[in-house]
Amino acid sequence: MYQVFSDKCTGQLSAATTFLNTAGCFARIFTTLQEVDDNLILTSYVLAGIANVGLTVMFLVYPKEAATKKTN
């Protein structure tokens, strides 16, 4: 995430994979809430979900490729 933020570009990251990872993470959170009473597992999925949402937002904010810089 830091690399994407510092480059202001998503580079070779796949938008489809990132969106599917985010959706899968929310599915795991839902399943954990319904089936398991374990706060440690739920916490790890919530933290992963936050990171995935951050990457997903970066796809909406930053272009796929950075603007080319002028070279001398």
pLDDT digits (tens, 9 = 90+) for 5-51: 777 777 777 888 889 999 999 999 999 999 988 899 999 999 999 99
Q: What is the pTM of this model?
A: 0.73
Please say whether the beta carbons of 34 and 7 come within 8 A: no
